[in-house]
Amino acid sequence: MTETQRAPIPFLDLKAQQARIAVDLRRRIDAVLAHCQFVMGPEVAELEAALAKFCGARHCVGVSSGTDALQIALMAEGIGRGDAVFLPAFTYTATAEVPLVLGATPVFVDVDPRTFQIDPAHLEQRIAAVRAGGTLTPRALIGVDLFGQPADWPALSAIARRENLFTIDDLAQSFGGSLHGQMLGSQADATATSFFPSKPLGAYGDGGALFTESDERAALFRSLRTHGEGPTRYEVLRTGMNGRLDSMQAAILLSKLTVFPEELAAREKIARYYDSRLGNAVTIPARVPNSTSAWAIYAILLKDGADRDAVQAKLRADGVPTAIYYPRPLHLQPAYRTAHDGVALPVSEDLAGRILALPIHPDLDDVAVERICDAVLVAVG
Ligand SMILES: *Cc1c(COP(=O)(O)O)cnc(C)c1O
């Protein structure tokens, strides 16, 4: 084997992406340097309009991160002490952190063993248990679109309507995905996404956005992201936060948005190739029916009892990086254990022990993808 064949494959290649958009990127960054309106400059409104158009949402409000987007959505709804916020246990920590920061209680729900998305049947059980308990008021559901695919929004929305729950779509990993022919962004009362650099549409720093169909909610989001500001500056109507997006990140995102559709197509092609090569050796990710994925993460499941550490080590030796999303479900995290009612969430617990993410990014060429598959087949064989 030659040295280049063994050279490590990057898990994510932001340098190669930067080279593809270099000219446009430089032009937009220079424009920000020229006008010096570094926070909430003209690029922010331009980006908001472009993102709303891209995903077919009525309003887009650019904010400082995906976490802050979730927080603003809950603040706008007045969610706090005594309120139960239902969310999947198998997700990134931010989803559970935000209700706790606001004094609310996260209620962890198990996920579907095939799609890894929040399990609507278990959600119903969890809501019934909270109502029976009598100490918390069921107020909101944060449905996470995990790894690029949508949660089961038709089922979740029906439950939320019946139970009178405010719905938030945590779209941090799945901006660019679709459900029933519709881009994700308007499935819930509010949608929060993230532009953290490793997300499918990533900035060069922190950033996020909120989407909503409601004019009132959009106005509230705008006020809350700027310290609860009223129609005139230095008029403070409510307790808000510093949740603004900066112009440089908006400029970078505008540039990245020009190549985003072709990047989504490149990720899809890689996912299909992985499916075709790996489907007999490991469990490949099940597709949510009638959806497309943004492929933030391509996660396989190793067989029960497989030595994941050994598989990872073998792959690393072959120059193939892998990652584990997530090694511990949130209800078992030290920080969240006391907020959790102690219910076992067996699917989340099982997935945490067997899941393994392979590289999937638009600058991964055919040779690298083939090499990854060869290495995986040997490592699990
Ligand atoms: C990344 C992520 C967030 C948080 O986004 P930040 O921009 O990093 O604050 C929230 N939820 C999920 C599911 C995420 O993957």
Whether 87 is in a domain gets the answer yes
Q: How far apart are CA 77 and CA 156, in angstroms?
A: 19
Q: Which of 160, 170, 175 is nearest to 98 (CA)?
A: 170
Grouped pLDDT means (10 residues each) for the chain, 381 residues: 71 96 98 97 98 98 98 98 98 98 98 98 98 97 98 98 98 98 98 98 98 98 97 92 98 98 98 97 96 98 93 97 98 96 97 97 97 97 87
Question: Does a structural domain hold residue 10?
Answer: no
pLDDT at res. 2:
52
Whether omega for the bond prior to residue 326 falls within 30 degrees of 0, making it cis, is yes
> Measured from the CB, is residue 212 less than 6 Å from ligand 1?
no
- Whole-number Å distance, alpha carbon 370 to ligand 1 midpoint, is 30
Ligand 1 in reach of 208 Cβ (< 6 A): yes
Q: What is the residue with the minimal CA distance to atom 1 of ligand 1?
A: 172
pTM (predicted TM-score)? 0.97
Q: Are residues 180 and 275 in the same domain?
A: no
Residues 240 and 276 in one domain: no
Q: In Å, what is the CA distance from 365 to each residue of 11, 264, 295, 296?
A: 12, 14, 16, 17
Q: Examine the domain organization and report whether 291 and 195 are in the same domain.
A: no
Instruction: Assess whether 231 and 329 both reside in one domain.
Output: no
- Are 246 and 343 in a shared domain? no
d(CA 146, CA 117): 6
Which ligand 1 atom is at minimum distance from the Cα of 173? 15
Same domain, 135 and 64: yes
pLDDT of residue 155: 98
Structural domain total, the chain: 2
Q: Are 198 and 176 in contact (CB under 8 A)?
A: no
- Cα(6) to centroid(ligand 1), Å: 33
* Structural domain containing residue 298: 260-380
**Spatial separation of the C-alpha atoms in residues 257 and 261, rounded to whole Å:** 8
147 lines ligand 1 (CB under 6 A): no
